[in-house]
Each structure stands twice: as structure tokens, then as C-alpha cells.
Structure 1
Amino acid sequence: MKTGAVVAVAGLSLRMKSFKPMLQLAGSTVIKTAVSTLKSAGVSPVVVVTGNNAEQLTKHLANLDVVCIYNENFATTDMYYSASMGLRYIQDKTDRVFFLPADVPLFSRQSLFTMMGYMDCSNCRILTPEHNGKGGHPLLIDSSVIPQLLSYRGEEGLRGAVEAFTGLKETIELPDIGMTIDADKPEHYELLQQYAKSITLREPITCSVKISLNRKAMFFDSSVAELLQQVSQTASLNEACSNLGISYSNAWKIIKIAEGQMGFPLLHSQTGGVHGGGSSLTEEGQALLDTYIQLRQEVEHFTELNFHKVFNRFQKATGEK
């Protein structure tokens, strides 16, 4: 099932007295933390309903591939109005939708997977998460019920619309306190920061290395190796480009630069003919690829062994906090 999300960010943040979505949180911001977690669980599209500081927020999210919808009436409308705009936009684009206000950003990726799995196996149309009996966000809403939610005319906003829904609703208890912590007031934001720090310190420190070949400038790295591996597997530079999501012209340029620096061709290319066109690695090209992969594996193995030996005391300190 295709799962999208609507994030309401249009409010004035009057109680917080700061623009909540852009508040710093664990090396990121409140809004980016929420969107990134949704994206990491495969949720798409993510629709962000903006209002206050819309231009700044849209630029801030530009590299996260979200859909921004502007609520021009944000100063005089409530969250239900913004939620309705987002739900109306997304209802025919997904099978179900996560909904959340942007000031509840610390729900976990695992909680999203658990909620989606639960809805897959049940007949519920609205699923609300809880932690120790306290309701949280995001809600998970089957897209088929969105029209009924949008028809609500009471005064209790989205909560009232959900309560008035006559279909099957369920709650799910999750071991994720992050679903219940918001940044509504300064004291809440302080708690949010403390919790963000605590869950960050639970994650182990890891190390990664990148191996590149250079001759005045870099001409061969893991991306070039991946391109050559794809050509070897598919016998087609065009198909390799398609699999990797890069343009044919850019791939050809990358290969020509590497060939110029190494002094030998990397590819055999054949066009048309009885047996059709295609590409394959030259003997030297295959040898270069194999040698690069061997070097990378040896360096990664060496780094892994020595990283744990050198950084062991920091890993222990992290686990104890």
C-alpha cells in the first residue's frame, strides 16, 4: 500500500514565541527531523502545509523532496483548516496518510513501520498511537475516510472529526515516548531537546571511509566502480545508467576522464549490428575495477578493526549515559 503524509506547519507559534518548525534539534531542525523520519520509512509524498514564514520554510525543505502547500489564511484559521488542505490534496494520491503537527518530530521509524503493519492486518480506518495511555502523533488514516473527515463541521477541529468518524477506529500502544512530546511551549521544547539528546547517545558511533584514485584531481571512486559493475552485469552502458539514475552523457564523460588518467580504455562499445549494441569492460578495465574493490575491502576491514580498538572507550561512555 502506498503511504503518504501530511504535516501541518502553518501556525503562528504564539505559545512558543519562536517559529517552532525551525527550532534546532539534535543537529537538525524540528521540521527536518520529522520529514526525514517519514522519508526513511518510505513515506511519499510528504505534504507540508505552510503559512507563517512560508518562504523561509519552503527553502529550508528544498532538498527533501516534499510538496509545500500554502495556507494563505493561516493567521485566522486553525490546524484543522491546514490539515484539511493537505488531506484534500493527498487523498487520491495514496492509500493511507500519516498526519501530524510539525511540533511532534521525535516519533521513530520503527513506530511508523509498526503502525503500517498493524493497519495492513486489521480493518481499522483510523489508527491512533499511544504511549502509556497518552495519545500521540502521527495518526494513520485510510484515504477512503478522508471525505468524511473533511465534512466535519463541529468546533473540535481534527480531533472532533476523528471522534465523529463512524467507522472502525483503533489505538495502538507503542514503546515510543517521542510520539507524545511536542514543542508547544518553551518547557516542552526543553524536554524535546533532552529526549533527542538521549536517543542520539543510544546510537553507536560508526566510521566509514571513502577510497578514491587521484592524479591532480579525483578520477575514480566508488560511484565510478558502481557504474563499471553495472556495465559488467548488464552488458549495456545505457541500461547501467538507467539502473543508477544518471544520464548517459554524464556517465560517458566520467568514463572518458578515467580512461584519460589511466591511459587505457575501460569499455568496449558496439553499436547496432545483427546481435545489437552493447558495452563490456576491457581486460584492463576489469583489472582496474577488481583491484579497486580489493583495496576498498582491505581498507574497510583495517578501518573497522582499528576503529573499535581506538574508539572503544567512547562507545562505552555513550552506552552508559
Structure 2
Amino acid sequence: MSQIAGVLLAAGGSTRLGRPKQLLEWQSKPMVAHVADIALAAGLAPVVVVLGHAAKEVRAALAARPVQTAMNWRWKEGLSTSVQVGLAMLPPDIDGAIFLQCDQPLVPADLLRRLVARFEETGAPIVHPTHRGQRATPVLFARPLFPELAAVTGDRGGRVLLDRYANDIAVVEVEDPRLLVDIDTPEDYRRLLEMRDSNLPSAIPNLHRIHHLIIDMDGVLWRGDRPAPGLQEFFAFLQEQGIRFILATNNASKRPEQYAEKLARFGVPVGLEYILTSAQATAAYLAAREPEG
């Protein structure tokens, strides 16, 4: 399996919008945090967020997410400087990187996974989505192209390489063009807000109102030693949507560490702070009621 990083370009000044698009609200969180969650849910690692304009506020918007941040002090010189900063942060053992814009909130994690799958299938140096022949972002660049990508200057980003390697590119067809739209103006943002509650193929009505879940484990997430179908995708979806959760059980015979180990075997790493057993709940209740007992 290929190791693909994510580079989230979030340094621009948003001059046409009139305020930092990184901090626009989307599903009850800042846009940059939403796109970072999508990258994490897709399994990209590491995820590097390149900062510039309003860096302090954007870094705070990312909160405790497991991403790396890098400051582009030259962000006013164009997109290529952010690409260079992002490339410099990547470890030497990755196979490629997907470059994401912070103003495409409708790009789903599944599309990022499809880009990676297409890369593994074809070995193409560049993979990008397309709709009826129209190329779009985000774009996956293979590691051998990193030196050429770092040499690009100005505000062109990776477009130079897309032209240079046009005959070697692999594409992923996207049926719904709305998934690829971005935000440049206040009118773009208004239209996207309308799309958020429309009948997109993957949309669930009023999902943005859900912030927390309490999820039973035994018999729900697995049966015996068999995980429920779609278990990994379910947790990736929660992360993509920014929905927090507690995993609960009325089984007092096992420690939280045992549940965490079981989930890890199923490909779902979860911290102990997300697991609550009936033994823990009982101990907390008794401690609150009889602190001296």
C-alpha cells in the first residue's frame, strides 16, 4: 500500500472574498479544519497545513488535530511558495502527496481515496479528478516529481507540471461537478452554503446538527471477533464530519485497554479517552455520591 501525504494549502490572503476563507464557517467549524478532517479521514499521512495570512487564527482553528503546520513567510509571492514549504515538510519515505485547497469543502474523503487507488493502479506521476474532460483539484503528485514541483515559481502551483506531463496523467471521473467547486467570492460562498443542504449524492439532511454520538460496542461495532461491515468507513466518516463520540459498553469484565486493542485489530485506532465501560461509569458514580467511602 502506498503512503500518500496530504498538503493543505491555507496561506492565501483571500483578497476577492474580503476575509480569510480558511476561517469561513462550514458544518459548525472553520473551513480549514473541515478540509483537514477530510484529509485525515481519507488516511493521508502526514497531513501538512501551510499557513500564511492570519496564521495565528488559522493555527488555532485546527485545534488539537493531528496535523503538522508550516509557516510560509513568502505567501504574498504566490501559490508556488506554499507548495515549496509543504514539500519541505514531507518525510523521505512517502510515495506521493495530494495537494488540497482549503476552499473546496465538498470534496469527500472517498474522492481522495479514489485518487490514491488510481495512483496505485496506474503508477501515473500525476492523478487528478476530472468532470467531462475538465481537470480539477485536488491533485496527487508522485515523489519523483517533487524536485520539479519545488522549482515552479510565481502563482502557478502545479499547473506547469500538468501541462508538461499531460500524456502521462491518470484521471478520476467525478459525476457531480458540485463536489469540485471552490470559493473565491462572497457569492461563491453563498452558493456553497445553499449546496450544503441540497440533495448531493452523499448528503444526509441536517447532518450538520449532529455533533456528538454515544455508540454501543458489543454486538453493534462487532459480533464476536468479526467487525461490522463498513466499520473503518464509519469511523472515517465521523472524523470527516467532525462528529465526536464516546464508545460505551455495559460489559464490566474488560478494561478499556482491551477494547482499544480490539478496535486497533479491526483497523480503527481509538484513544482510551473515547471508551467508557460500565465499570468506569459505576466507579465515577460512587465516587461522586460517596467520596469518603
TM-score normalised by L of structure 2: 0.70
Q: Which residue of 1 aligns with 2:97?
A: 97
Q: Tell me what 1:257 maps to.
A: 283
The 3 A distance-change label for structure 1 pair 155 and 238 is closer
- Deviation digits for residues 148-197 of structure 1, max 9, x if unmatched? 22133587442123323488322222124244311111221122212222
Provide the C-alpha distance between the structure 2 equivalents of 1:162 and 1:190, rounded to a whole number of angstroms.
31
Instruction: Choose between structure 1 and 2: higher helix proportion.
Output: 1
| Superposed CA offset, 1:125-149 (max 9, x none) | 1111112333222101112321122
Q: Which residue of 1 aligns with 2:147?
A: 147
Shift of the alpha carbon at 1:40?
1.4
Report the residue type matching 2:42 in the other structure.
Answer: A
Residues in 2 aligned to 1:169 and 1:113: alpha-carbon distance in whole angstroms: 17
Change (3 A) 1:224 1:138: same
Query: Contact 1:45/1:66 (CA < 8 Å) preserved in 2?
Result: yes
Deviates more, 1:1-10 or 1:144-153: 144-153
Pairing 1:1-321 to 2, within 5 Å after superposition: 1-75=2-76, 77-90=77-90, 92-152=92-152, 156-165=156-165, 168-199=168-199, 202-203=203-204, 223=248, 225=250, 228-230=253-255, 245-246=271-272, 254=280, 257=283
Closer, same or farther: CA 138–157 of 1 in aligned 2, 3 Å: closer
The 1:245/1:106 distance shift into structure 2, 3 A limit, reads closer
**What residue ranges of structure 2 are gaps of 5+ in the alignment?**
217-245, 288-293
Structure 1 Cα separation of the partners of residues 152 and 182 of structure 2: 26
Deviations 1:201-220 (A, max 9, x none): 94157896579xxxxxxxxx
How many Å separate the matches in 2 of 1:8 and 1:152?
Answer: 15
Q: Which has the larger radius of gyration?
A: 1
Moved more, 3-12 or 125-134: 125-134
Q: Distance in 2 between matches of 1:103 and 1:118?
A: 24
Deviation at 1:112, TM superposition (A): 1.6
CA positional deviation for 1:99: 0.3
Match of 1:287 in 2: none
In the alignment of these two chains, the number of paired residues is 245
TM-score by length of 1: 0.64
Counterparts of 2:177 and 2:160 in 1: how far apart (Å)? 24
**Following the alignment from structure 2 to structure 1, what is the Cα–Cα distance between the partners of residues 11 and 271?**
35
Give the conservation status (yes or no) of the 8 Å contact 1:105–1:178. no
**Cα deviation, residue 97, structure 1:** 1.0
Letter in 1 for 2:70: I
Write the letter of the residue equivalent to 2:184.
Answer: D
> Which of 1 and 2 has higher RCO (CA within 8 Å, sep 6+)?
2
Q: Any conservation in 2 of the 1:22–1:30 contact (CA below 8 Å)?
A: yes
Q: 1:84 to 1:166 in 2, by over 3 A?
A: farther
8 A contact 2:260–2:272 mirrored in 1: no
Q: Give the fraction of aligned pairs with identical amino acids, expressed as a percent.
A: 22
**Amino acid of the residue matched to residue 46 of structure 1?**
V
Structure-1 residue corresponding to 2:225: none
Q: RMSD of the alignment, in Å?
A: 3.7
Distance 1:246 1:202, change over 3 A: closer
1:195–1:167 CA distance, 2 compared to 1 (3 A):
same
Q: Could you list the runs of 5+ residues in structure 1 that have no partner in the other structure?
A: 212-220, 262-321
Q: 2:226 maps to what in 1? A: none
Residues 60-102 of structure 1: CA deviation (Å, up to 9, x unaligned)? 1022211110111223x10111011102211525222110221
